[in-house]
Amino acid sequence: MRRLNERAALMRTVKQLGVKDPSAIRFAYGLVVETERRKNLIDKFINAVVEPKKINEYTMGIQAFLRLYVYQTRVSKNWTKINLKEAENVASMGRAILGWQTMREVETILGFLLTKKLEPIIETASEAEKISLQTFHPTWFVEYCLKLFGHNEAIAFLNGSMKTPPTYIRINTLAAAEEATVQKLKAESVELEKTPLLNYTYKVLGSKKPLNALPSYAEGLFYVQDKASCFATQAANPKPGNILFDVCAAPGAKTTFLAQLMQNQGAIYSVDFSAKRMKTWKKETSRMGTKIAEPVVADAMVSVPLLGEADLVVLDPPCTSTGVFAKQPSAKWRLSPNSIRNMSELQWQMINNCAEKVAKGGILAYSTCSITLEENEEIIERFLKEYPEFTLMDIEPKIGMPGLNGLTKCQRLYPHIHQCNGFFIAKLQKQ
């Protein structure tokens, strides 16, 4: 079974059920995301009620119902108020969807779920597990952050990763002048705030309609792109006329911004292993008016099958996404310490394959949306030992925190400090 994130899973369900009401879809998405975000706390609470049984011993349908039931009747009420009528309505919907025979197994526990107190359950937990239940993160990841950042900074980061960061857009100057697009968006009731030090990047303060439903979106006047991603692309600093290899390029945010910074002059060869994601890349590059990019479907872990060398190689490899838990809460429950080790080996293979494609005097830009050492500084440290012809470069502008392990020329962004996804950026030049 293919793993889907919250949005993809919901969109599939919406399509299957034929739901058309945008407000109903938004409510359902919020309900799913906020329930998934608190999965460890909700599961621990349910397990305390159904013991000696565990929630994972029930069918998938019952598991989903119990979690949504606890979120809606308890979590959303801050565990204080009890609305019996609402609880009955939620249970009734569960019977309508799953069938009364399926629901019969858990009917007797719904009342206990509605009245049991949370505090005694948390009080019995260890210190690390208490933090994990309070910040909604796996205990192993809490322990990892405590070791990496220290207690106070770890708590700040974990709390920051509970809050979805603002939405940002990047104005596309290949389609129209920046100020003209800002004025058009204002006329479309989009309220924007310029992001300091980043070119063409704006925080969305408000919008009456979904951004992808606006006429200016269809016209390719902007791209919905996180501040950290915009920074990583700007930091690469491509120039008009460059030969550029964009590795792990889909769905197209980097490619379209790179082409914009190059003023559609030069050549970009965009590599990604997923033919499906490259279909999205083609739609996005077309929408954004990108003229200089060519798609290449290939696995960069095996090789970068491009002839010649590039002035700039941009690598944004797959990662554990520990910097985007706020946007994709389901991701954190799929990870383990082994995930970090496995992902770092994949990243090492990719950066190795990219190194040989950098021309003399050229640049290799590496970035991830992860905060782990193994996927970031340790990759760069190992790379510098294996490839002494490369040296770290300063990154401009300086909006992030210095890299760890003494790699101060690298930059890190954190949700609780920078109001965006967690990110790591390194820039290396071949002597």
Compute CA distances 369 → 197, 223, 271, 317, 422, whole Å: 20, 18, 19, 9, 6
Give yes or no for residue 383 having a pLDDT over 60: yes
Query: What is the Cα–Cα distance from 407 to 272, expressed in whole angstroms?
Result: 29
| Alpha carbon distance 222, 269 (integer Å) | 22
Q: What is the pLDDT of residues 115-126, one digit of tens each?
A: 999 999 999 899
User: Among residues 87, 140, 89, 149, which one has the least CA distance to residue 112?
Assistant: 87
Whole-angstrom Cα distance, residue 103 to residue 222? 47
Q: Is 420 a catalytic residue?
A: no
424-429: average pLDDT: 98
Q: Range with the lowest mean pLDDT among 16-20, 257-261, 279-283? A: 16-20
> Angle 139-149/151-160 helices, nearest 10 degrees?
130
Segments of 66-176 assigned E as strands = 167-171
Render pLDDT for 392-411 as a digit per residue (tens, 0 to 9): 999 999 999 999 999 999 99
Please write the tens of the pLDDT for every residue from 286-304. 999 999 999 999 999 999 9
**How many angstroms separate the CA atoms of 243 and 361, rounded?**
13
Question: Where are the chain's structural domains?
Answer: 6-126, 227-430
Give the confidence band of 45 by pLDDT, cuts at 50, 70, 90: very high
With 90 as the cut, is the pLDDT of residue 77 above it? yes
Give 184-239 pLDDT, tens digit per residue.
999 999 999 999 999 999 999 999 999 999 999 999 999 999 999 999 999 999 99
On average, the pLDDT of the chain sits at 95
Is CATH 1.10.4080.10 what the domain over 227-430 is classified as, yes or no? no
State the pLDDT at residue 15: 72
With CA atoms as reference, report the closest residue to 50 among 108, 123, 124.
Answer: 108
Q: At what angle do helices 39-50 and 60-73 cross, to 10 degrees?
A: 100
Q: Residue 4: pLDDT band by 50, 70, 90 thresholds?
A: low
The angle formed by the CA atoms of residues 2, 7 and 9, to the nearest 5 degrees, is 40
Q: Percent helix, strand and coil across the chain, each rounded to 5?
A: 50, 15, 35
pLDDT of residue 1: 38
Determine the pLDDT at residue 29.
Answer: 85
Residue 18's pLDDT is what? 74
pLDDT score, position 282: 98
Tell me the percentage of the chain whose pLDDT exceeds 70: 97
Contacts of 354 (CB under 8 A, 6+ apart): 245, 247, 300, 304, 313, 315, 364
Q: Is 78 left (phi over 0), alpha (psi -120 to 50) or beta?
A: left
Confidence grade of residue 375 (pLDDT, cut at 50, 70, 90): very high
Q: Do domains 6-126 and 227-430 have the same CATH topology?
A: no
From the list 319, 354, 369, 420, the catalytic residue is 369
**3 pLDDT band (50/70/90 cuts)?**
low
Closest CA to 426 of 370, 349, 346: 370
Q: 132-170 pLDDT, tens per residue?
A: 999 999 999 999 999 999 999 999 999 999 999 999 999
- CATH superfamily name and code, 6-126: NusB-like (1.10.940.10)
Query: What percentage of the chain carries pLDDT values higher than 90?
Result: 92
> What's the whole-model pTM score?
0.92
